[in-house]
Structure 1
Amino acid sequence: MAGLTENHPARRIDTARSMLLDRYGLDEAFLQNVAGSALGKWGDFADIYLQSRASESWRIESGRIKAGAFGIDLGYGMRVLRGAEASFASSQRIDRASMQKTGRLLTEGYGNAPAVQPVPAVTQDGPFREDLYGIADPLLSWSTDRKTALLRSIDALARSLDPRVVSVNANVHASHETVWLTRHDGFSSGDVRPLIKVAVMVTVLSNGRREVAGSGFGGRAGYEVLSEEAIEGLVRKVVSSALTKLEGQPAPAGPMTVVIGAGWNGVLLHEAVGHGLEGDFNQRGSSAFSGRIGERIAAPGVTILDDGTVPGGRGSLNIDDEGVGSQRTVLVEDGILRGYMHDLLSARQMGCAPTGNGRRQSYASTPLPRMTNTYMEAGTLEPGEIISSVSHGIYVDNLSGGQVDVTSGRFVFEASEAFLIENGRLGAPIAGATILGNGPDTLKQISMIGNDRMLDGGIGVCSKSGQTLPVGVGQPTLRVDGLIVGGKGS
């Protein structure tokens, strides 16, 4: 691998092969043979997914290091498909005998089933692309003393900024995941996936009133992204947010214009729209967007993408967990629904190409169509111009606690940081506001789109069918008319 950059695919593939094949006495020819054996006369598709994941976390509370943990998860999953029917098994034991036995078990119950025509190979054509992230192991880059010193510095800085800070919780989490995927159709490759996150939460107290604020950042990188400057900016932001909430007055209630700030607030799109555009929900007809390709589902100017190719993005992947290369998939273009996110199974069921969205939490899980980095593209307006257009409404700086019903599209979010807008100007902070709406309706209620599209800082996680995965979200500043705001004010 001499002379290759860290982000050259050959370095990544060779590293994954060494970690998961060479180490356990395996080779690609053997895996291909096992996949073919598992296919038997019953299946039309088979794959083997090997994974090793090392992770660590450190946490500080009230000035003390409260927890430090390290773990390794290792194993493989083997899957056989026949149409929409699946047979799956997993094991923590990686060796030839175990894998051969698993392959036999998956197919032996169907030994007399008629042979079927295998599905076509999933090709990976396209121009050469450098990897989206490096392969260095973040767990090895810093000493334990340096990691705990970082947490202590966060605690000390937050408390020094204001005497009303009464509690500081902070944690860092890092993982290094190596995967290898072999399919019966001849595909065989691997990926090496670093991930880092730091999160800070502070509690402030004044005149008996207690408020909490938190934030963080990270991505597919190592501890090097936790620079002193970045950490200081994070801590100052969190303390400022908590102190602002101390001044919050009761939120108004009723339908009104809501301006939603850029970046992390794309979590609203993720929950209210993104899940409804995943292929499995639409194949079953259970999404509010099922059967609507080519229809207008959003206001003009609304373009939404799922993009697994963002360099270093939290949800980015060089290849997904079925071996399909990550893509930049246009879901909604200028308000028109253009497509869904697919894994191999939903793609074959709906007669279209996979989009690189087949993801699984671990080797013990089956793949599902899942988001990567999902965001709305920028418009042309300055954020200040959008705020000045509102005579009465609220500005939401931070959303949290979202829930959505995929079938109906209904959602509810807590506006954890929000301000009144009066006569085109930001006013007093408000507390206790919730945002209620319907995803399909909300897309059509967007009346202004800012030029400030941002992705979140790299802290998002998404749960579906019991599987939790890292994701990215993003959006520009948006004006949405007629959203329902729940609050205690008038």
Structure 2
Amino acid sequence: MTLPFADHKRYFIEKLGISERLMERCLGEALSAGGEYADLYFESVTSTSLAMDESLVKTASQGISVGCGIRVLSGERTGYAYTDDLSSERLMKAARTAALIASGPAKELMSGFRHTVDSPSLYPVAGAESDSEILAKLKLIERADKAARAYDPRITQVRAGINDELRRILVAASDGTFASDTQPLARLNVFVLAKDGANTSKGTSGGGGRVMLDFFEGEKSPEHFASEAARTAILQLDAVEAPAGEMEVVLGPGWPGVLLHEAVGHGLEADFNRKKTSAFAGLVGQQVASSKVTVVDNGTMANRRGSLNVDDEGTPTQETVLIENGILKGFLSDKLNSRLMGLPNTGSGRRESYHHIPMPRMTNTYMLNGEDMPEDIIKSVKRGLYAVNFGGGQVDITNGKFVFSASEAYLIEDGRVTRPVKGATLIGNGPEALKYVSMVGNDLALDEGIGTCGKAGQSVPVGVGMPTVKLDRMTVGGTGR
């Protein structure tokens, strides 16, 4: 089921008592000190979280959050105030506070809203509002716990959890923007420990998206994620220490796109480039990667974790080409940075909640398919590393340097995938690493729906992806030979 715009709006009018007249008054107050632009971001979130450890339900919680953030822009200055009390008095007080922070020359006030557009319906509307749904979620994590324990007797500990939310937003702005959306989000996670003698290892898996519970009854079942977590942990018990040094590296399809997200994607967000703190600043139109590399950010993919009908400024999302055949084409921008930099607004204004200001953020970021067969990519490597999955990582936006830990990786010897390795880290520089891409597979895959991106203290759900990719040179950290 999807909701038309009128139903999105009706929720805030009927349930929360927010009228168009009140919104117009708040925007007028926000601009009373001379700001150039103001917007209101109303948000209502209902959420559920269940977690099981040692076959017992350890935590179960439900929550409701309601509030409004009011922003005023004047040049590069931003005034922001928020309130969890949606009474007219508190909203007007927040508007006055934001106005004083970002005062400027007087501006003519707006005259009426316009409905932004009839946005697409990229996801169904799902909620966590009945006891029967709570029981259904409990059964899902019970199935995951059971399946992981049954995978191998060496699995000694299992933790499974499910988190979901239903977020309703309404954005009203002084430029006439008037948009709303209802956004579901669900994720199932499994973590296991395995032990064999003195050896211990861990494995994780999970997935979801902007989906309803029946998503987990199909191919991406609790049993699927449990088996993947257990398989990874058992595999690591017999893994050898990863070699160290510069070598050829093959990245597997799907989640390894997180390296692309961190090492390249953040550097292509407009605010970093406006402030010239990105390694990509000033390089639009120049070669920044191998000619085989094309990278896009796409917020319009149905049911994907990073997708949105409209961003958190009320702008419809879109598909944006960032790098095309190795040439830097542009950046991800929001209203503020598109105005200050003279760029198109790519619908990339995102925020964690009404407590936070929006900023340019990624949605689903991935590398497009190439023409190489994945098996030919492996065959081309004399000695190297095949990185299938990643854990944590760090990147310095100013210079593009990154360090990533591989949670599942193998040696490639004489064109064959051989022994699993542990303790492998990939070390490099994002813009430089992409120049060493020599082969790109035709097997593009997106992640399972687990990505969460952090920036300036805010976290938002995202997606990543890539096909199998060969880099001719990359530094691998490890303790083996």
For Structure 1 versus Structure 2, the TM-score category normalised by the shorter chain is over 0.9
Cα drift, residue 108 of structure 1: 5.3
Does the C-alpha gap of structure 1 residues 141 and 44 become closer, same or farther in structure 2, counting only changes over 3 Å? farther
**2:151 matched residue in structure 1:** 161
Deviation at 1:378, TM superposition (A): 0.7
Change (3 A) 1:94 1:477: same
Letter of the structure 2 residue corresponding to residue 488 of structure 1: T
User: Displacement of 1:466 after TM fit?
Assistant: 0.6
| Equivalent residue runs for 1:46-445 within 5 Å | 46-107=38-99, 114-116=105-107, 130-140=120-130, 142-227=132-217, 229=219, 230-445=221-436
What's the offset of the Cα at 1:136?
Answer: 2.9
Corresponding residue for 1:448?
Answer: 439
**Contact 1:297 1:444 (8 Å CA) reproduced:** yes
Report the residue type matching 1:323 in the other structure. Answer: G
Number of aligned residues: 480
Alignment partners' CA distance in 1, 2:124 and 2:30: 34
For 2:442 and 2:208, the matched residues in 1 are separated by 24
- Residues of 2 paired with 1:412 and 1:75: CA distance? 38
- Higher mean alpha-carbon deviation, 221-230 vs 278-287, is at 221-230
CA distance in 1, matches of 2:448, 2:402: 23
SS at match of 1:20: helix
Match for 2:36 among 27, 44, 62?
44
User: Per-residue deviation at 1:106?
Assistant: 3.2
1:143 shift after superposition: 2.9
Identical pairs, percent? 41
Query: Partner of 2:256: helix, strand, or coil?
Result: helix
Give the Cα–Cα distance (whole angstroms) in 1 for the partners of residues 402 and 102 of structure 2: 44
Structure 2 residue matching 1:235: 3-state secondary structure: helix
* Superposed CA offset, 1:364-422 (max 9, x none): 10011111111110111111110011010010110111100000100000011110000
**2:469 aligned partner, one-letter code:** L
In the alignment, which residue of structure 2 is the partner of 1:3?
none
1:438-482 CA-to-partner distances (Å, cap 9, x unmatched) read: 001011011100001111011100111110110000001000111
Letter matched to residue 140 of structure 2: L
CA deviation vs aligned residue, 1:235-280 (integer Å, no higher than 9, x gap): 2222112111111011110000000000011000000000000011
Deviations 1:26-55 (A, max 9, x none): 222331232123112511100000001111
Amino acid at match of 1:183: A
1:129: how far off?
5.5
Deviation at 1:139, TM superposition (A): 4.6
In the TM superposition, structure 1's runs of 4+ consecutive aligned residues that sit over 6 Å from their partners are: 121-126
Matched-pair contact (CA < 8 Å) for 2:444–2:467:
yes
Q: How far did 1:101 drift?
A: 2.6
Q: Deviations over 1:63-119 (max 9, x none)?
A: 1111111111110010111111111110000122222232233335788x5324789
Alignment check: 8 A CA contact 1:139 1:175 kept? no
**Whole-angstrom CA distance in 1 between matches of 2:371 and 2:109:** 49
RMSD across aligned C-alpha pairs, in angstroms?
A: 2.1
CA offset digits 1:178-233 (Å, max 9, x no partner): 00000012111211000000011111111210010111110001211111652222
TM-score normalised to structure 1 length: 0.94
Deviates more, 1:139-148 or 1:238-247: 139-148
Gaps of 5+ in 1: 1-5
State the alpha-carbon separation in 2 of the partners of residues 91 and 389 from structure 1.
59
* Secondary structure at 2:48 match in 1: strand
- Residues 318-355 of structure 1, C-alpha deviations (whole Å, 9 max, x = no match): 11011111010110001000000001111111111211
Aligned-residue offset at 1:297: 0.2
Distance 1:385 1:40 in 2: 64
Q: Structure 1: how far apart are the matches of 2:401 and 2:100?
A: 45
Once residues 308 and 133 of structure 2 are traced to their aligned partners in structure 1, the CA distance between those partners, rounded to angstroms, is: 27
